[in-house]
Amino acid sequence: MFGALRQRAVLATASGAGLVLVAGVGIAIAAPGSHAAVMASAQPVSAKAAQDVVPTLPLQIESATPSDYAHNVNGALPIKIVFNQPLATNSPMPTLSPKVAGSWSVAGDDAVFTPKVGYTQKTKVTINIPSGTGGMQAEGVDLTSVPGAGLLANSAKKTFTTGSYSTMRLQQVLSQLGYLPLNWTLTSGDNPAADNANAQLSAAYDPPTGTFTWKSGYPSLLRTFWSKGSNSLIDEGAVRAFESQHSLTMDGQAGPEVWGDLLTAVVKGQENTHGYTYALASKASPETLTIWHNGKEVLHTLANTGISDAPTSDGTFPVYLRYYFQIMKGTNPDGTPYADPVYYVAYFNEGEAVHYFPRYSYGFPQSLGCVELPWSSAAKAWPYLTFGSLVTVEG
């Protein structure tokens, strides 16, 4: 009896861990608790099973790019918030203040905002990150499971401030659009696509590397008014020219409106329609005015500058006001008033202007501070002396 019971026990064990023949194929069947059973449980969990895992920890913010309170940020770059666990693809997203066109997306643990056209210079940006059941959520959140698991416990705010646009990029764009007497050529890095507004905005903060070369035909004196990467007299004249062609207030300063229209002009390919002009009035005897336009000398004529009691100021100035005809009024050195009709007027320094004035002869001081020209010369000079054109008086 004892032997029969033992035999049945052995047979039961053998049947729990033996070979079963199915259609001629031997399949190993592991008994519970056997070595084969341990090996089976160690196999990788399927992708579907991984997706079904319910989070057990609260959602937490690990980092932000740009970092909190960062300054001089490139406002065209993406914004990224990194969490401690993968996010649900349908999770509510952070909000930005001020608002800007763009979209949020989820990439694993990251929530990324990609702007369509980012933030302009000197803008303080606030990122509001929502919490609770209506806020950010991890993948697989089950509100009936562990309370708060996979949810952000507390709302958060991150702030950063964008930087200033680069003077170097201002000069690059003005050159590309034909407002400077220089060419600019990319030497390294990526040249932002002309039709990509956000790429152009990014380059305004962080310009590509390139070289400037002078266009031929201009006098060497003009080069002394240029400073690469720094504000210069040539830049001021070029900005005035741009402002005049885009119906902006002409102050020669690259403010928000100028930059906005400038970046739009690059995207739309709106180049300078007047070309580049430089004028030089010489007080050397005989006095002359010479004008260069687009690298060519277009006028060299006798001229009159101011008498000793009302001399024409030496220096270089951009044209800021123009009239085809004007009654020019003032006071003579002896105190008597005058009211003279003049034509082809281009003011460059306060009350000093290049214009036509009838004289018996030209080539020596006769005016009360202006640069006077004969009729034919004034008529030829006036179309070239557009807003922003630099006029140098020396002698």
Cα separation, 53 vs 139, whole angstroms: 9
pLDDT reported for residue 37: 36
The pLDDT, as a whole number, for residue 36 is 37
CA 196-197-200 angle, to 5 degrees, is 90
Domains (range + CATH), the chain: 61-162 (2.60.40.3710), 167-268 (no CATH), 277-394 (2.40.440.10)
How far apart CA 158 and CA 228 sit, in angstroms, is 36
Find out whether 70 and 161 touch, Cβ atoms under 8 Å.
yes
Pick from 273, 299, 232, 235: which is nearest to 386 by CA?
273
**pLDDT tens-digit profile of 180-220?**
999 999 997 778 998 899 999 999 999 999 999 999 999 99
| 244 torsion bin: left (phi>0), alpha (psi -120 to 50), beta (else) | alpha
Residue 51 confidence (pLDDT): 52
Task: Find, among 268, 212, 277, 214, the residue nearest to 241 by Cα.
Answer: 277
Quote the pLDDT of residue 45.
40
Note down pLDDT in tens along the chain; length 395 residues. Answer: 334 333 333 333 333 333 333 333 333 333 333 333 333 334 444 444 445 678 889 999 999 999 999 999 999 999 999 999 999 999 999 999 999 999 999 999 999 999 999 999 999 999 999 999 999 999 998 877 788 899 999 999 999 999 999 999 999 999 999 999 999 999 977 789 988 999 999 999 999 999 999 999 999 999 999 999 999 999 999 999 999 999 999 999 999 999 999 999 998 999 999 999 999 999 999 999 999 999 999 999 999 999 999 999 999 999 999 999 999 999 999 999 999 999 999 999 999 999 999 999 999 999 999 999 999 999 999 999 999 999 999 98
Of 168, 157, 170, nearest to 124 by C-alpha is 157
CB-count burial class (<10 Å; 0-12, 13-18, 19+) for 116:
exposed
Which of 365, 343, 364, 362 lies closest to 354, judged by CA? 343
pLDDT at 202: 97
**What pLDDT is stored for residue 144 in this prediction?**
77
pLDDT of residue 385: 98
> Could you please report the per-residue DSSP string of 172-231?
HHHHHTT-SSEEEEEEESPPPPTT-HHHHHHHHHSPPEEEEEEPTTS-GGGGGG--TTS-
Tell whether pTM > 0.75: yes
User: Cα–Cα distance between 74 and 136 in angstroms, integer?
Assistant: 26
For the record, the structure tokens of 320 come out as 């800021």
State the Cα–Cα distance between residues 238 and 217, nearest whole angstrom.
18
Token look-up 């008033």 returns 337
